[in-house]
């Protein structure tokens, strides 16, 4: 059903505004999976927009956000000369498994939050001014705490952002604790809804965690292995990115250079999504656009864009025949994103090693070959 999340929002917020709990099983297997802080924000929206217009306004906003999101990413984040607005829209909505269309099918608020966050990152990427981005992340985390992973963007593409990122993360944690302490009944209902809507309904997402959790659930429940593997993968990806950043800086790059490097930013964006254990269609539409940028870079396919799209789209047609669980059809996008990340990482790491002053051949008198412009003088 199209707009499947809209009645969940409407029912949950409506129940709360009328003094009832929003956390019920009336619309199972769909549940209201949002914390009490979201109810406060939604309550403000409900008092600003007339009730008869609420659903229509929300749908219009989400559609506009979905159309704007690939355009914002292409222009302000990835900034590849070959990635024009029409190609960005085509990749976002149609490649490789129509991720953007599936996100529009759900009408999940995550699409709006991603659009706001990446639009707010533009001043940070252009001039290391991240205040609006931190505000966007904080508000997004009030709705979905998994958006906390977006703090990797200023840490990996900004300069001297550790303390501000820690403060933003601390504010998110403090808000969560305040919800638990000040609204205990609502928070218990929220936790119950998470268990029902994710675990009992087996809505684990398309990521590595989702594959392992779905496989193990049929036998003994979710199990601990899915959490351990997903946690290890998140730590591995994050650690690899900070290591590569250090290598690039040693090779002569500056934080300003990294903030202007669309390939590096595509890797950062991919990381923020792939470390999320529960990757859904409204997450994957972001990472598939980043993955396409990384594949083009890794394969040097700037002149073969549509051939690359076709070569990676055709295998997706086999997914319904090879994967028996419809909930895991989207894992092809996760696998493709991980492969694109690995390929681009390998090529970028090679270039960093080749450009590192430590690897420059010594001159006859024992001095090392100068690096950069001095080497060409």
pLDDT at 1: 52
Give the distance from CA 23 to its chain's centroid: 26
In the numeric block, the tokens 């008198």 are attached to: 365
Confidence class for position 376, pLDDT limits 50, 70, 90:
very low
Percent of the chain beyond pLDDT 90? Answer: 65
pLDDT at 365: 45
Residue with the bigger pLDDT between 224 and 111: it is 111
- Residue 345's nearest CA partner among 208, 241, 234 is 241
Q: How many CB atoms lie within 10 A of CB 315?
A: 13
- With the C-alpha atoms ordered 188, 189, 190, 192, is the resulting torsion angle positive or negative? positive
pLDDT at 276: 92
Averaged confidence pLDDT in the chain: 89
Angle, CA of 269, 275 and 277, to the nearest 5°: 130
Q: What share of the chain is helix, strand, coil (3-state, %, to 5)?
A: 75, 0, 25
- With the C-alpha atoms ordered 178, 184, 189, 192, is the resulting torsion angle positive or negative? positive
Three-state SS for 368?
strand
Residues 6+ apart with CB under 8 A from 377: 370
Q: pTM of this prediction?
A: 0.90
pLDDT at 218: 63
Cα–Cα dist 209/41, whole Å: 30
């Amino acid at each position: 059903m199209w707009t499947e999340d809209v009645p969940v929002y409407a029912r949950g917020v409506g129940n709360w505004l009328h003094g009832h709990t929003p956390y019920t099983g009336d619309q199972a297997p769909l549940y209201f999976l949002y914390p009490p802080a979201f109810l406060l924000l939604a309550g403000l929206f409900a008092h600003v927009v007339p009730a008869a217009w609420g659903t229509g306004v929300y749908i219009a906003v989400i559609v506009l956000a979905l159309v704007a999101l690939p355009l914002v990413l292409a222009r302000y984040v990835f900034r590849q000369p070959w990635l024009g607005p029409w190609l960005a829209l085509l990749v976002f909505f149609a490649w490789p498994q129509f991720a953007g269309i599936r996100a529009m099918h759900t009408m999940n608020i995550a699409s709006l939050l991603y659009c706001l966050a990446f639009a707010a990152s533009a001043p940070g990427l252009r001039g290391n001014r991240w205040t609006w981005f931190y505000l966007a992340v904080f508000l997004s985390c009030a709705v979905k705490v998994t958006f906390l992973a977006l703090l990797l963007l200023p840490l990996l593409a900004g300069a001297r952002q550790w303390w501000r990122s820690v403060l933003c993360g601390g504010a998110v944690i403090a808000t969560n604790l305040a919800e638990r302490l000040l609204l205990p009944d609502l928070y218990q209902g929220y936790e119950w809804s998470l268990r029902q809507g994710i675990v009992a309904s087996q809505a684990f997402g398309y990521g590595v965690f989702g594959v392992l959790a779905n496989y193990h659930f049929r036998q003994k429940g979710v199990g601990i292995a899915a959490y351990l593997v997903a946690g290890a993968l998140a730590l591995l990806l994050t650690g690899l990115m900070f290591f590569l950043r250090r290598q690039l800086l040693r090779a002569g790059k500056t934080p300003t250079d990294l903030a202007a490097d669309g390939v590096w930013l595509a890797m950062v964006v991919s990381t923020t999504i792939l470390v999320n254990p529960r990757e859904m269609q409204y997450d994957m539409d972001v990472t598939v656009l980043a993955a396409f940028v990384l594949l083009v870079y890794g394969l040097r396919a700037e002149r073969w864009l549509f051939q690359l799209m076709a070569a990676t789209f055709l295998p997706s047609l086999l997914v319904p025949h090879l994967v028996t669980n419809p909930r895991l059809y989207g894992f092809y996008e996760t696998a493709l994103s991980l492969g694109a990340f690995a390929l681009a990482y390998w090529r970028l790491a090679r270039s960093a090693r080749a450009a590192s002053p430590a690897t420059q051949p010594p001159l006859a008198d024992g001095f090392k070959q100068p690096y950069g412009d001095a080497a060409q003088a």
